Amino acid sequence: MSKSSKASTPNLITINVLTARYGMNPLVELDKIAEEFLKMSIATARRKANNYDLPFPVMRLGNSQKSPYVVHITELAKYIDNLTEQATARWEKFQMAA
């Protein structure tokens, strides 16, 4: 998958589920999603964030290196929706071939 999110508008269901899971804050700490959504350790996710090598943008609030990386919930939702679209396209391709 390319590093940029293809979906321009995330699915509202995805956003609602993420909001229910992570609360009403539009920002989610990278440490909370690294293992579940990126399938990588927190240390690897932080290293990739430092190198701008994650599939969605992250930021720090403030100038301190101690500030945690956060991702906006819409960016995380777009990432999840893009993965879903890719999986659906592959599934449909194989269904047509059968």
Provide the residue ranges of all domains of the chain, joining segments of one domain with +. 25-90
pTM of the predicted structure, to 2 decimals: 0.86
The Cα–Cα gap between 54 and 24 comes to 24
pLDDT band at 1, cuts 50/70/90?
A: very low
Share of the chain above pLDDT 90, in %: 83
Give the pLDDT confidence score for residue 5 in this predicted structure: 46
Give the pLDDT confidence score for residue 30 in this predicted structure: 98
Give the pLDDT confidence score for residue 61 in this predicted structure: 92
pLDDT band at 28, cuts 50/70/90?
A: very high
3 state SS of 85: helix
